[in-house]
Amino acid sequence: MKPRLILILGDQLSPDIAALREADKSRDIVLMAEVASETDYVPHHPKKIAFLFAAMRKYAEALRADGWQVRYTKLDDPDNAGSIPGEILRACDDASTDEVLATEPGEFRLIAALEEMPIPVHQFPDDRFLCSHADFEDWAEGRKELRMEWFYREMRRKTGLLMDGDKPEGGKWNYDHDNRKPPPGSVDAAPMHFTPDETVEEVLDLVGSRFDNNFGDLKPFWFATDTGQARRALTHWVKTALPRFGDFQDAMMKGERFLYHSIISMYLNAGLLGWREVCEAAENAYRDGHAPLNAVEGFIRQIIGWREYMRGIYFLEGPDYMSRNALDHTRDLPGFYWSGNTDMLCLSEAITQTKEEAYAHHIQRLMVTGNFALLAGIDPHQVHEWYLAVYADAYEWVEAPNVIGMSQFADGGVVGSKPYVSGGNYINKMSDYCKSCRYSVKEKTGEGACPFNALYWNFLIRHEDRFSNNPRMAQMYRTWARMDEGKRDETLTSAKAFLEKLDQGAKV
């Protein structure tokens, strides 16, 4: 009987991945490959590439130790075909087989590539997620609005997480109003760091020589690269940071890059951790009296709420989702997104942190880099590709709905009922950035004023026909209407001057 190839991708590093369950250890061959087409379709952060390659190599060794035959192609192998389809065909020739088993990829481009192969590639559903495509489609059917909150409640009922019978623990589904405290005076927690071992060091040498021109610092490298390490990182976070996570999950601090965040999304999205084990670890901390309900509920909502909802939206909306541009924004992504060289301290801090850590938390992404891009009218596809490139946890199924939908409103309201935009006051409230910024958040117009202030009103007036009748935005348009005409003119003139400077490539 001919062997079959069992394809395992770099974000499918789970021991119970669907394709492996369909395989026969006695005859089938596991295929894994580091290929240029996966590193280069956007200029990925070197830390992300190194993390995945190291985790892939360790996963392959674990399979071999478990008795599997593994064919693993390294990036610098002279015979490397350079793409997943190419490596499949090369392996099929060598193994004299023409049958491939795969778990459905998380990006449409790879799903299409496997469907277009000249040999059959059987794609099995990726059942590591709580909500299947069919389940999400059933939930979405007939709804006028696909609001995450209603989906999240269904997932709570389905899993039983933080439930008291058929009611939510504590009597409320959502404790988000308790999770908006400004920055604390100090932070007494940090994510667990791992010293690179021999496998990781070999990968770092490869990535350092191959991707030294990519945006992002490769070293210091401290990520977990196998399931055991990832579980230790999770346990460490639950013990040291989860109790204060909820209170400060939206806060931003100069020099404090992680605050009380878990920093496990990269492990979860690559398959080193599963959604259930991370949620149960948090829930157990609540049941044991170690962490408060607002912290645990906020974390679990991110996992079985936002994460599952975003995947559902991605597959429901289809391959054209990434090209949507409901607001007709066409300005090029500013060069400072690739350097951090801007006098706007909030942006400089978020981008510099991203460069050095391949990480920024959700408010830095949504309300700093994302908010600016939306206010300035940046092409959402360019924004999408930037986020996909620079973050270690970014895969299109989760990144695109967050950016195209939630951050840039380019899907016209599928994800959000209104755009996530704000002036400088929100950033000032939730961070300490404004205290030492060259721009004054208290000034609304003029050269020294915070650019977010004038850009906010400019955005609202630019899109008044679309948003003035939105119930959640009507108050802001009434505020604008009450402004002195001279003040309105001055605001729009300030925004225009700033955007002209931005278009000229001058430092802003």
pLDDT tens per residue, range 17-31? 999 999 999 999 999
What is the pLDDT averaged over residues 383-407? 97
CB atoms under 10 Å from CB of 209, counted, come to 9
SS3 (DSSP) at 100: strand
CA count, 13 A, side-chain hemisphere, 330 = 1
- Whole-prediction pTM value? 0.95
Q: What is the 3-state secondary structure (H, E, C) of 471-483?
A: CCCHHHHHHHHHC
Are 311 and 402 a contacting pair, CB within 8 Å?
no
In this prediction, residue 11 has a pLDDT band, given cuts at 50, 70 and 90, of: very high
User: Counting every residue, how long is the chain?
Assistant: 508
Are 273 and 230 a contacting pair, CB within 8 Å?
yes
pLDDT in tens, 302-326: 999 999 999 999 999 999 999 999 9
What is the pLDDT averaged over residues 202-216? 97
Q: Which fold has domain 335-503?
A: DNA Cyclobutane Dipyrimidine Photolyase, subunit A; domain 3 (1.10.579)
Nearest one of 242, 257, 233 to 183, comparing CA atoms = 257
Q: Does the pLDDT value for residue 454 go beyond 90?
A: yes
Q: Does the pLDDT value for residue 277 go beyond 90?
A: yes
In this prediction, residue 112 has a pLDDT band, given cuts at 50, 70 and 90, of: very high
Distance CA 98, CA 446 (A): 67
What is the pLDDT averaged over residues 399-412? 97
List the chain domain ranges: 5-124, 133-191+241-317, 335-503
Check whether domain 5-124 has CATH 3.30.465.10, yes or no? no
In this prediction, residue 75 has a pLDDT band, given cuts at 50, 70 and 90, of: very high
- Which residues make Cβ contacts (< 8 Å) with residue 310, sequence separation at least 6? 397, 398, 401, 402
Nearest one of 252, 291, 254, 269 to 48, comparing CA atoms = 269
Distance CA 358, CA 364 (A): 13
If you ran DSSP here, which 8-state letter would residue 442 be given?
T
pLDDT the model gives residue 98:
87
With tokens 């049958």, the residue in question is: 99
pLDDT the model gives residue 178:
83
Check whether domain 133-191+241-317 has CATH 3.40.50.1100, yes or no? no
Phi, psi at 493, each rounded to 5° = -65, -40
